[in-house]
Structure 1
């Protein structure tokens, strides 16, 4: 596994966002290229046609100062009213698939399936039908952070009732759309749901419960995902013949001292907390989490661990609940054990007990957390291959932020180097079957509002028509899709 960067050859590559190729390679014949979005970030129409409020609606309306430019997703790029423009772009890019999410409150305004909203259902039927009519595969994410407010009032993901609510919602999606949708993702990025939402209070629902709320959230997501998977397999897969996975995000971790234990600890706390229970042969939470969180809990005077216990039933039920692993990768970090404890006590950061740093040679994006580290991407894909028995991987997000220039050369370099990492990993035997660029459009980037741009297409946010314009990276990405291999920059 890639544990460290050989500085004799990495400094130039790091500064220029490049990666060496392992021979002349083409993507497999059936490899699928796509682009990704999420409902709250692009749809707008926040209360149109009977849609109910989500926690992001409530958050941006009640506390706009938490958003860098005090903006919100009320209108966003208005995809709710302008999907035909988006479809034209999807066809223009020659995409094989389009990953989008369904807004839970657009089809069930209060979150409960008894509150069915036909106009919302019609909207997604229209998207799915038009995609298929143009030979574009819909890849549907069931949950991309926009929880119904009424469900959060019950405790959201810290209340085990969420398992029932989510499973009922998912079953309705199968009934409504499963005759045409064959690729399902239950949850997008559990780490970004649980940690900022129920631990650090950096994002809605703004619950500050470090080292407790986050672990409850992870546990309930695992159970809701597994129950949804088994429901589909028992009732719907025979007729609908679809496939289900879950999407997780992570940095890759690089040890300056080539200490495999530090790398593994970083990966287990950031990725294994969900992935180990689903994709490993052992199941359950990773041993390092069980041991260390249990030990810390006892030292704090508690009678039981803050990490909820997964008994034999749940371990077996969750293990193997996948058809593929969805992966969001953006960047990497160096890791080492800290000289003194980090974070408040208790907290996931204190349990984690790893210090993360970046490299001054790495090219940095507009986002303060984002660096171009394609070596890390290749290392992550190898780590997953070795850790989870070469599970099928669908790369569901990968992208770069900037100021929004149409001549986005750094984004072109980012895509070229990271798709090279994918090719290198495939060359080494990784089972990678698809890639989704993040994002199709410049859109609402959560707490950063519209100040950071990830899109292949710019959007004129000052115009009521929200015109879309292709950037250099969009043209480049299309050339790769046409050639089915990497092409020279232009």
Structure 2
């Protein structure tokens, strides 16, 4: 069975509206087998315990002035949440490539203390009836691998594949849901293109394409390793998580409708199309080849897959994860001038958010729940209705200890409406969604934003020695949703 994970909403609304005033929250029960959960990632935990090795984020946040936030890291005490008397059906987390059990990132040295840590954690989840949803790579490339080329070098495909094989060997008997990569766009486009995230390489219009080309091969190789060596005995599922906003046309003109589709292909299809449909989207291949020629390149800046590689990558999914938070407006614009290349110029779309939309502590997260249904429907229609689980969805506060515990009208409202449009997509559009995980379980270190933006259901007091956790009101609401499988006080069967 092919299964897919996604995170988005949608509804047929007047173009650009943040909320339909007449919209009624869905009052149909979620299916009994629908998976509700929470998520975080290994980097948001302790950074230097139990023999953990260094990754690119450890290195950069400690040595560069680029980020002002030192790592006053949270302690990795997941079990305290397992025992909060919730009825979670899944918890999403990642395994650190250089952390805990494989400190150098290379397979020659395995840290047994790290292996036991993950085994204990997975066992505790299973003992409490919680299904582990495990991401193999969440941005934290081992520092040693980065220093010899990282995701710009083909050699990393084999090292990543061997890392994945070891993960499957060690934990696969107890894990049924795997994700090879979380948000590869952030690794490649922001890590090796714009340089906004580690390793902060600025190679506009070139580095992100090379990185993606290599990463997709690594994903496919890991999937085939599982399919050939482990699926017959472990019976698990392997997917990939891709993130995208919804891109709403600014008008109903043909030009703006085309702009919306183009932006979706450059954001999401860039990664999904080779896996689900075979090869990069045609619009990407055409535009980048044309602009590359005009810029003086002898070949397209977008690398080409061989037919053998296309066949190897195509179909390497059992499910897909989508991370979805917000929506952008898009409109057609004149073709960008030829000059220094960039992914943004290759896309050639004007992208913006309506200033009237309700915001958050994160300038990129606006409350636009109707986008969830639209992106889910688009994915269904573009990729032949795969099975979907929402792997990240959430909204941030500014972490003020005395004020942000009372987030009922803020975060609870966000969850209610995004989940409602998700349920609409399931019922009205026939989208095959089987689960939803909130980002995030608790306040944590938000990459270059440090601790200025907090997404947690649980507030963490980083000034206290034991990092005191306090549930926000949204935790109570979400717990009730999980218990009742209902978004409102009274639900009815579909």
TM-score, structure 1 as length reference: 0.93
Structure showing the higher helix proportion among its residues = 1
Separation in 2 of the partners of 1:249 and 1:133? 31
How many matched pairs?
Answer: 472
| Structure 2 CA distance for partners of 1:340 and 1:293, relative to 1, 3 Å | closer
1:384-423 superposed Cα distances (whole Å, 9 cap, x missing partner):
0100110111110000011230011211110000000110
| Structure 2 CA distance for partners of 1:11 and 1:137, relative to 1, 3 Å | closer
1:97-150 superposed Cα distances (whole Å, 9 cap, x missing partner):
000001111221111010211111111011101100111001100001111000
Contact 1:167 1:224 in 2 (8 A): yes
1:44-85 superposed Cα distances (whole Å, 9 cap, x missing partner):
1x222211100000000111x323x5222xx52111xx3332
Runs of 4+ in 1 over 6 A off after TM superposition: 1-4
The CA deviation at 1:5 is 4.0
1:186-217 superposed Cα distances (whole Å, 9 cap, x missing partner):
00001111111101111111111111110011
1:270-325 superposed Cα distances (whole Å, 9 cap, x missing partner):
00000011112xx1000000001011111111111110101111111111100001
Q: What's 1:483 paired with?
A: 484
Separation in 1 of the partners of 2:199 and 2:15? 42
* Pair 1:328 & 2:323 matched: yes
1:12-35 superposed Cα distances (whole Å, 9 cap, x missing partner):
548xxx9544x6311112100000
Secondary structure in structure 1 of the residue aligned to 2:389? strand
The CA deviation at 1:11 is 5.6
Contact 2:27 2:487 in 1 (8 A): no
Q: What's 2:14 paired with?
A: 6
| Structure 2 CA distance for partners of 1:343 and 1:156, relative to 1, 3 Å | farther
* Pair 1:241 & 2:222 matched: no
1:303-357 superposed Cα distances (whole Å, 9 cap, x missing partner):
1111010111111111110000101000010001224628972111110101111
RMSD between aligned residues: 1.9
| Structure 2 CA distance for partners of 1:344 and 1:101, relative to 1, 3 Å | farther
Q: What's 2:207 paired with?
A: 213
Secondary structure in structure 2 of the residue aligned to 1:93? coil
Q: What's 2:132 paired with?
A: 138
Contact 1:443 1:455 in 2 (8 A): yes
| Structure 2 CA distance for partners of 1:441 and 1:2, relative to 1, 3 Å | closer
**Which of 249, 261, 267 matches 1:270?**
267
Q: What's 1:85 paired with?
A: 80
The CA deviation at 1:436 is 0.3
Contact 2:412 2:474 in 1 (8 A): yes
Contact 2:69 2:450 in 1 (8 A): yes
**Which of 367, 389, 392 matches 2:387?**
392
Q: What's 2:468 paired with?
A: 467
| Structure 2 CA distance for partners of 1:170 and 1:48, relative to 1, 3 Å | same
Separation in 2 of the partners of 1:84 and 1:11? 38
Q: Provide structure 2 residue ranges, at least 5 long, that are not aligned to the other structure.
A: 1-8
* Pair 1:418 & 2:418 matched: yes
The CA deviation at 1:87 is 2.4
Secondary structure in structure 1 of the residue aligned to 2:441? coil
Contact 1:342 1:349 in 2 (8 A): no
Separation in 1 of the partners of 2:15 and 2:282? 33
